[in-house]
Amino acid sequence: MRFIEWCDLLSIGHPTIDEQHQSLFEIINKFHHEIINRFPSKVIFETLNHLIGYAQYHFKTEEELLEKHKYPDDSLMDHKAKHENLVLDIFRLNEDLAKDQMHSKNEIEKFLTNWLILHILIEDRKFKDHLDNSSILQGVLGS
């Protein structure tokens, strides 16, 4: 059984961002499965490291897209800071697991849900309209 499922409610409307979000869902589902089924720690850490690397790649893509579409500087800086905090959170989880400070299933599930779903639903939705309007404007101007 999958831990989290992608749905249209989570769509930002930008194909690259939506595809990357779906890939993050896949990695989180794999990580959750491995934690719950007590796979060897090596496999868990490999998956967690993959999540960290992919998240950093995704955040860079998202930030470059926002810069390209002239997202307001103060909003962009705030979004970048939230990305930095998300990366720090996942590093902390990695450290806790490395120290055998295993979290309960509920704590891990809450962390993963907050980490990805709430970020998409709250933070990424803030720039959805800006990207939509920017794309429409570019289409009209032929940019």
pTM of the model: 0.84
Q: What is the pLDDT of residue 68?
A: 93
How confident is the model over 73-119, as pLDDT tens digits? 999 999 999 999 999 988 888 888 778 766 666 777 788 888 888 89
Q: Is the predicted pLDDT of residue 137 greater than 60, yes or no? A: no
The answer to whether the beta carbons of residues 72 and 133 sit under 8 Å apart is: no
Determine phi and psi for 11, rounding to 5 degrees. -65, 135
Q: What is the mean pLDDT of the chain?
A: 85
Select from 1.10.1840.10, 2.60.40.2310, 1.20.120.50, 3.30.413.10 the CATH code of 14-132. Answer: 1.20.120.50
Q: Is the predicted pLDDT of residue 140 greater than 70, yes or no? A: no
Spell out the domain ranges in the chain.
14-132
Bigger pLDDT: 44 vs 137: 44
The answer to whether the beta carbons of residues 135 and 16 sit under 8 Å apart is: no
The answer to whether the beta carbons of residues 21 and 59 sit under 8 Å apart is: no
